[in-house]
């Protein structure tokens, strides 16, 4: 049972700002410089629909990541793009749940995304409406509303193994938790409890080693020209070859 202090969500989600760029969620109308409504919503992205600005938002993002990292295969860039977006969604939800006791409604049709922005991913919410901050609501908001359709899209378009994609999701969650613990050690108990509940979800519970929290799959980062192994990688050193089994 996670006991959270319930505080009203403010229109600009100001409590998230000191946590770092991965946690910040800008709200349309909350601060100057709101994005053009022509930018795609994440609902459009998951449905593989274009917008007035981007014909295919996910393809654009993967190509941008591939060019920036000199990825030898599009699927490597797709995996890294996936983990970056997953980390943003988890960070916003986890930070809000712990600091406010509630999360904003993160429905895909309410979040706009700029595929051409630098990392971390640029997300805008069309308004703040509060939902409960319990693990079930967070799982519904992030896992089911976002990461399931995102995984389906990337599996179909880039042949990424589902094990790899859910490994990315689990790794992104624990990464968000670590960042939150570093910046707010005073809320360590609810962070750890909520993260543990989320990792017990059927979609995530086999993605990481239960003791070490190391992944059971690889995100393919080691296959970049200057890549290596991540801190939670299933490999202790980068393989010399590129075994298919590393994909998930």
What digits encode the pLDDT tens for the residues 206-222?
888 777 776 767 767 67
Output the six-digit token pair for 15. Answer: 């409590």
47-60 average pLDDT score: 85
pLDDT beyond 50 at 244: no
Distance in angstroms (rounded) separating the CA atoms of residues 236 and 230: 9
Distance in angstroms (rounded) separating the CA atoms of residues 159 and 75: 7
Q: What own/partner pairs with CB < 8 Å and gap ≥ 24 does 146-151 have?
A: 146/42, 146/46, 146/86, 146/89, 146/106, 146/108, 147/86, 147/89, 147/203, 148/203, 149/46, 149/47, 149/108, 150/45, 150/46, 150/82, 150/85, 150/86, 151/82
Strands 26-27 and 122-125: parallel
Task: Name which of 143-147, 189-193, 240-244 the model is least confident about.
Answer: 240-244
Distance in angstroms (rounded) separating the CA atoms of residues 152 and 161: 10
Q: Which helix (H) or strand (E) holds 9?
A: none
pLDDT beyond 50 at 107: yes
Q: Note whether 181 and 188 are within 8 A (CB).
A: yes
Output the six-digit token pair for 64. Answer: 């941008």
Confidence label for 243 from pLDDT (cuts 50, 70 and 90): very low
Strands 130-132 and 122-125: unpaired
pLDDT beyond 80 at 33: no
> Closest by alpha carbon to 212, among 234, 187, 228?
234
Output the six-digit token pair for 57. Answer: 């938002």
Q: Could you tell me the sign of the dihedral formed by the alpha carbons of 44, 50, 88, 192, in that order?
A: positive
pLDDT beyond 60 at 189: yes
> Closest by alpha carbon to 216, among 147, 169, 179?
169
* Tokens 């909520």, located at residue: 194
């Amino acid at each position: 049972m996670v006991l959270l202090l319930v505080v009203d969500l403010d229109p600009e989600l100001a409590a998230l700002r000191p946590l770092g760029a991965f946690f910040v969620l800008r709200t349309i109308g909350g601060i100057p410089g709101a994005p053009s409504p022509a930018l795609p919503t994440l609902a459009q992205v998951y449905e593989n629909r274009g917008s007035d600005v981007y014909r295919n938002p996910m393809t654009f993002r993967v190509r941008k990541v591939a060019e920036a990292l000199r990825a030898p295969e599009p699927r490597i860039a797709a995996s890294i793009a996936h983990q970056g977006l997953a980390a943003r969604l988890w960070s916003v939800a986890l930070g809000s749940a712990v600091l406010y006791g509630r999360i904003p409604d993160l429905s895909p049709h309410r979040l706009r995304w700029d595929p051409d922005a630098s990392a971390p991913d640029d997300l805008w919410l069309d308004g703040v409406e509060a939902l409960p901050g319990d693990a079930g609501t967070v799982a519904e908001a992030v896992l089911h509303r976002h990461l399931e359709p995102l995984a389906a899209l990337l599996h179909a378009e880039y042949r990424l193994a589902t094990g790899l994609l859910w490994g990315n999701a689990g790794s992104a969650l624990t990464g968000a938790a670590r960042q939150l613990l570093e910046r707010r050690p005073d809320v360590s108990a609810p962070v750890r409890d909520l993260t543990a509940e989320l990792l017990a979800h059927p979609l995530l519970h086999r993605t990481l080693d239960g003791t070490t929290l190391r992944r059971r799959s690889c995100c393919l980062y080691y296959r970049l020209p200057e890549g290596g192994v991540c801190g939670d990688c299933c490999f202790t050193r980068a393989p010399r070859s590129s075994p298919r089994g590393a994909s998930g």
